A and B are shown apart, each in its own frame.
Chain A
Amino acid sequence: MKLKRQSAVLAVVAASAVMLAACGSDNNSGVAGAQAAGKSANVACGGKNTLKASGSTAQANAMSRFTQAFGATCSDQDINYNGNGSGAGVKEFTGKQTDFAGSDSALSAEKGEIEKAKQRCGAPAWNLPMVFGPIAITYKLDGVDDLALDGKTLAGIFSGKITKWNAPEIAKLNAGKKLPDQKITVIFRSDESGTTDNFQKYLKTAGGWDKGTGKSFNGGVGEGAKGNDGTSQALKNAKGGITYNEWSFAQAQKLNVAKIVNSGGGQPVELNAASAAKAVEAAKFKDEGSKDLELNLDSIYGTKTAGAYPLMLATYEIACSKYPDADTGKAVKAFLSVAAQGGQEGLDQNGYVKLPKQFSDKLLASINAIQ
């Protein structure tokens, strides 16, 4: 009896192993393409076998794609990324616990992070903007499915100055559409989040938002729900509701996404892979010509390029320009090169922007300068 049961268990285990293997090969076929792309650009593998990194949760899904591509390109190398929040990521990086950090914001001089990072590396640390996640303005309004909004109107809605869906500001942007005389229910993130921070920064640049920025919502109107899942769920229940979500959630939950009129005026821009990439392409750096690629975020939020989607969360990999330990430097360089090339394949399916060629070339120039 006992034997029989054991063999049954074994059979189940074996069966699931076969199934898992099948799944694995599925994934591999996806990565095979990535491998080809990575190899074409001459990634120099080698150095430390297992890298450690931590930080932003917003780029965790992109990081798992990069990790797969890294494993496929550099066969015996691996990386552990722990999505424990940007603040913790930077702290662990400057504390030498990790090899690089993922962060929603560039190193801040105010908090002394630049200085600390310099001490840790023995050379300046660089901000490398690797992962861009567009933020979708999602809403629930019966009978209206191609709403257009701009920065000013959004700032008005999220600060409680515009309270009705048929307000003149909204009507002006949506000529010819029938807007209901309904109260707007604003839903925001109740937890501290980089999405909120970037949304508020966008409102400040594009809409004259005067409520302040930061990781918690300062609009003083509406109600908060926890996480992207919480806000999407709350939106489904709230008639006349509006909120902001990471793009991947808006896609997965099939929420109505508003088009945005960017600071250049012109036609409302739909959020898609092309319009987001356009904004990234037009992005400027704080210090043009430097290898430190800290972004001038205003150039994205306030973009005037026709057809560019202005609202997104930019996240950085923060790495040393020169590592005290050459082995680590070599491995970090290899990983980042893979991420900027082969790792980009299919990134838009996870709600991220696939980096435009022109942009990834600049990124690669910095990565190749890492020692």
Chain B
Amino acid sequence: MSMKDEVVSRPAGQERETGSMMGGMGEQEQERGERPKRVGDRVFRYLTTTSGLVIVVAIVLIGFFLLIKAVPSLLADSTNFLTDWRFDTTGGKLAFGIRDMLVVTVLSSLLALVLAMPISLGIALFLTQYAPRSLARGFGYLVDLLAAVPSVVFGLWGVLVLGPAIEPVQRALNAGLGWFPLFSDGNVSLAGGGNIFTAGVVLAVMLLPIITSVTREVFRQTPVNQIEGALALGATKWEMVRTTVLPFGKSGFIAASMLGLGRALGETIAVLMILHTATSPSGFSFFDGGSTFASKIASAASEFSEPLPTGAFIAAGLVLFLLTFVVNAIARSIAKPKKEKA
């Protein structure tokens, strides 16, 4: 959430620096100081505060729900919750761990991010700097349209089309680079491509519109006088992009990528349809199968009736919840220093 705020608030700040809105801002601040008790002002302030609180309360409540439901199952767990790869909740005795889910979730999301970030950056730069205006508009719609495709459709596409199609690529990678752990033999067969690699590629396509549309808006806010200044100093188009657009939009781009990463971490149905599950632990390879946190929960959701087994899945959900927090925190710490430099 705060990531998005930064994206929005930054350009406004920049504009203030460049002086275009100086007068307006000053007046507003004066008003706030002189007449704090105006009714409309107060009501508006309460409204915004309430909106802000709603999100905090929602997050806290979700956290509590997960925690309360998960604790009894965690106590009944007969194996190490963090390091065991099995997830057995049937047959009375609970023995569940999240090792493989964590591995699969992180690997597939990172692969998606690594694939989607450079492409999204390219699209955003093309749309804002290179494409003719008329083309840029239509193209932008197309990218946004991609975001409206339901994930179940992406899942079907992954299973029916992409998986079988990139199987040869996977076989080649596995044969040629098999010595590297990420491309070593997985715990499911390569047939049909029901592995992390395929899931990562599908997730990457799902991330494209999210990262692109936010990044595009940030790049579009690059102050014109900076761009013109660079060009006036004799910079080529590429040099202009490198010295003005990229530094200006960097934190926005990272924030957009994190928004996308959140989507990838939590994506359920597409991953559930694509990934084959395995009967041996993951070896940190892209050709492993398994389930992510979200897909594991979804695969069992239709049979949730007993509180203890259900709690085991909710405990997995809790870990995903925490993982998202950690990832966001890391992303913020990456984005911040760069912002100060710029």
Contact = CB atoms under 8 A, between A and B. Distances in A.
Interface of A: 57, 84-88, 90-91, 185, 187, 190-192, 212, 214-216, 219-226, 230, 233-234, 236-239, 241
A224 B305 contact: no
B180 interface: no
A212 B194 CA distance: 26
Given A185-B191, A214-B90, A234-B192, 16 more contacts: A57-B302, A88-B302, A88-B305, A192-B302, A192-B303, A214-B91, A215-B303, A216-B88, A222-B279, A223-B187, A223-B188, A223-B194, A224-B278, A237-B163, A237-B192, A238-B191
B191 A226 contact: no
A226 B272 contact: yes
Q: Pick from A84, A190, A222 the residue with the most CB of B within 10 Å.
A: A190
**Which 3 A-B pairs rank lowest in CB-CB distance, beginning with the nearest?**
A237-B192, A87-B305, A224-B277
Contacts of A85: 302-305
Contacts of B289: 223-224
Contact of A192 (B192, B279, B300): B300
Nearest to B92: A110
B47 interface: no
Given A224-B276, A226-B272, A237 B300 contact: no
A192 B191 contact: no
Nearest to B269: A226
A215 B192 CA distance: 25
B54 to A, nearest CB: 31
B8 to A, nearest CB: 38
A215 B299 contact: no
A185 B189 contact: yes
A91 B305 contact: yes
A87 B306 contact: yes
A169 B289 CA distance: 30
Contacts of A86: 303
6 contacts: A87-B303, A90-B305, A216-B88, A224-B278, A234-B192, A234-B194
B279 A190 contact: no
A241 B191 CA distance: 10
B102 interface: no
Given A212-B91, A223-B279, A233-B159, A190 B291 contact: yes
Contacts of B167: 237
Nearest to B159: A233
Contact of B299 (A90, A212, A226, A241): A226
A20 B166 CA distance: 42
Contacts of B303: 85-87, 192, 215
A234 B190 CA distance: 11
Q: Chain B: interface residue count, which band?
A: 20 to 34
A221 to B, nearest CB: 6
B70 to A, nearest CB: 19
Nearest to A236: B192
B172 interface: no
B125 to A, nearest CB: 38
A88 B192 contact: no
B164 interface: yes
Contacts of A239: 191
Nearest to A84: B302
Nearest to A226: B272
A90 B303 CA distance: 11
Given A223-B189, A223-B194, A224-B276, A191 B299 contact: yes
Q: Pick from A86, A224, A241 the residue with the most CB of B within 10 Å.
A: A224
B192 A233 contact: yes
Contacts of B110: none
A154 B192 CA distance: 24
Nearest to A194: B303
B160 interface: yes
B169 to A, nearest CB: 15
A191 B273 contact: no
Contacts of B278: 223-224
A326 to B, nearest CB: 30
Contacts of B191: 185, 234, 237-239, 241
A231 to B, nearest CB: 10
B189 A221 contact: no
Contacts of B304: 85, 87-88
Contacts of A237: 163-164, 167, 191-193
Interface in B49-88: 88
Contact of B276 (A84, A190, A191): A190
B305 A225 contact: no
A226 B139 CA distance: 36
Given A192-B303, A215-B90, A234 B276 contact: yes
B291 to A, nearest CB: 7
Interface in B299-316: 299-300, 302-306
B310 to A, nearest CB: 10
A183 B193 CA distance: 18
Contacts of B188: 223
Nearest to A216: B90
Contacts of B273: 226, 230
